Amino acid sequence: MFISSPEYADAIGELIDAYKEVAPNVTINYETTQNDYPTMLKAKLNSGEVPDIFASTSGKEIDVYKEWSYDMTNEPLAQTIDPSVAEMMKSPEDGSGLYGIAIKGNFFGMLYNKEIFEESGVTKAPETMAELEDACAKISAAGYKPFSTGFSEWWVFKHVFQHYLDAAAANAGTDAASLVASFEKGEAKVSDYPELYDNFFRLIDLAVQYGDDKPLETGLENEEAAFANGEAAMILGQGAWVEADLLAINPDLQIGFSGYPVSDDAAQCQVISGSDQAIHVYKDSAVLQPTLDFVNWWYTSDYGKSWFVDVAGVVPPITTDAESEFTIINQGKELAAEKGSAALACCYSTDSWNQTMGELFQAYIAGTADKDATCAAIEEQWQAIDGAN
């Protein structure tokens, strides 16, 4: 197994240990990393050292890795996977196959510290850009840091940007997938969409103004520590997957969860739900059947099905009535029921593009490119990287 998402390393370790009791003669070598995972994976694929199990983003990336991926349509796990998750694992080109499974479903949004908000006189999660600016001023005046950002991680940007992309598409009378296609074809300009050109850049500027002293040196662990220890009121680019880490640092942490203020319309402040990561099985694996045995057990056994909620603490990617004890998941469900959830738009692009986009915004934060130069590079690279495919 070579997959991203090191935040699940302990949970996957427990999963593997449990499987050893079922299949004691099977050895599973598990490797995980986050930084530069797409580049490292492609190096393995190009060298012929293909992992038996590997990960990618779902959606468009399914086709990127389709030639290496086993179609699990006829496997027992296909009967347990949630239909909405299964849709993200099909080939976007023709809607066929089941080329991946998922560690989790997910909720994406902004996390905030309820106690800091209360002490700062912020009575609710900001739902508009104006409310966000007001909250930052109040939190700063109360002696707290409004943001910790994790901006050294390229994937943080894709998690946040998709919220603004969804709003831009809705306000233009289209959908996010169509808007992404327009950028890929070179037909769209960032400056045509105020949700992107004005509001997303404003969020970045606010996060830098009111955030970490060295934002480009702040990674996931720094972000989690600042938030859990009561130093920062909000963190960006994260979701349900960080709750276990946060509570391990501070079991009494009062976590709030909301969508991002993407415009002046509070109704557009929505969380995003969906399954953003696919786990592939290498179709030409020398140990294909033992590998399939493992993933089928993961998705169909009593332990495997309970693992998602009881061990990993994630939104289950399978059909189940199991209840979660995690507050972000439960708040995410409530918000999605109340205001709807926005599209998982980051999956309409490849991670090659998403990584490039993150690096372009890192350059903007570093001051080596201004806003218009960053927008021009976004338009050029979107067409060059994903438009070419």
Residues 204-224 have pLDDT tens digits of 999 999 999 999 999 889 999
Q: Which of 88, 263, 237 is nearest to 161 (CA)?
A: 237
Phi-psi group of 259: left, alpha or beta (phi > 0 → left; psi -120 to 50 → alpha; rest → beta) = beta
Query: CA-to-CA distance for 302 and 324, rounded, in angstroms?
Result: 16
List, in sequence order, every residue forming a beta bridge with 342; answer none if it has no partner: 272
Query: CA-to-CA distance for 296 and 310, rounded, in angstroms?
Result: 19
Residue 389: the pLDDT is: 60
Query: CA-to-CA distance for 72 and 34, rounded, in angstroms?
Result: 26
| pTM for this predicted structure | 0.85
Q: Which of 150, 158, 140 is nearest to 60 (CA)?
A: 158
DSSP of 28-43, one letter per residue? Answer: ---EE--TTHHHHHHH
Q: Which of 152, 145, 159 is nearest to 211 (CA)?
A: 145
Q: Which of 297, 338, 302, 330 is nearest to 314 (CA)?
A: 330
Query: CA-to-CA distance for 143 and 230, rounded, in angstroms?
Result: 11
Strand order in the sheet with 255-258: 145-148, 232-235, 110-113, 255-258
**Which residues have a Cβ under 8 Å from the Cβ of 207 and sit 6 or more positions away?**
147, 149, 151, 215, 236
CB 284: neighbour CB atoms within 10 A?
A: 10
Residue type (1 letter), 208: V
Residues of the chain with pLDDT under 70: 34-35, 389
Residue 271: the pLDDT is: 95
Q: What is the CATH number of domain 110-270+350-387?
A: 3.40.190.10
Residue 324: the pLDDT is: 76
From the candidate CATH numbers 3.40.30.10, 3.40.190.10, 3.40.50.970, 3.30.470.20, the one assigned to the domain spanning 2-105+275-327:
3.40.190.10
Which tens digit of pLDDT belongs to each residue from 352-386? 899 999 999 999 999 999 999 999 999 999 999 99
Are 125 and 258 spatial neighbours (Cβ–Cβ below 8 Å)?
yes
Residue 252: the pLDDT is: 96
Is it true that 2-105+275-327 and 110-270+350-387 share their CATH fold? yes
List, in sequence order, every residue forming a beta bridge with 282; answer none if it has no partner: 69
Give CA separation, 73 vs 68, 81, 91, 96, in Å: 15, 11, 12, 9
Residue 320: the pLDDT is: 82
Which tens digit of pLDDT belongs to each residue from 114-161? 999 999 999 999 999 999 999 999 999 999 999 999 999 999 999 999
C-alpha angle 3-223-345 in degrees, rounded to nearest 5? 55
Q: Which residue's structure tokens are 């849709």?
A: 87
What does the domain layout of the chain look like in residue ranges? 2-105+275-327, 110-270+350-387
Q: Strands, DSSP E only, in the chain?
A: 2-3, 31-32, 53-57, 106-108, 110-113, 145-148, 232-235, 255-258, 272-274, 277-281
Strand order in the sheet with 2-3: 31-32, 2-3, 53-57, 277-281
